[in-house]
Amino acid sequence: MEEKRYEYRRGKDVFNYEFESEGPKGLVRKGIRFNLMAGLPFKVYNVGFGDWDTECNDLNDSVITNNADKQEVLSTVAVAILEFIQAHPDAFIYAEGNTPPRTRLYQMAISSSYADISKLFVIIGRNKGRWFPFSKGVNYDAFLAWKK
């Protein structure tokens, strides 16, 4: 996982990170957040990321920035997940795009780095309401990963 990425800063806690995307649209402030999902018998954290909305003073994970740096952004999120797992080794990481194309983007990112990712994590995908071991070529609508 030695891909080009952005340097990020951890927030006041290990649940929040921020960095700047750089491209044709200039510098765009981005954020990554880990939210504990309630009502589960184990610690599952939803990982969300997006542009920082200064009006709301919060992350906007619906915006499409198109700053020509998709791979750098996804690599930055991946490294933040690794840091988060170091601090919370018993955590499960849940990821689901807010649209099918965004979920597909996550799936393509997992597939392209699966050889490296699978050395560190168990990854399963949800398809038609059921969870299966991650397999390339199968469409999923959500992903769950945890440290091996």
- The verdict on residue 3 lying in a domain is no
pLDDT > 80? residue 40: no
Range of the domain at 16: 9-147
- The verdict on residue 102 lying in a domain is yes
> What pLDDT score was predicted for residue 62?
86
> What pLDDT score was predicted for residue 21?
95
> What pLDDT score was predicted for residue 96?
96
Model confidence, pTM:
0.90
Q: Locate 5 and state its tokens.
A: 């990425």
- The verdict on residue 129 lying in a domain is yes
Work out how many domains the chain is built from and give that number. 1
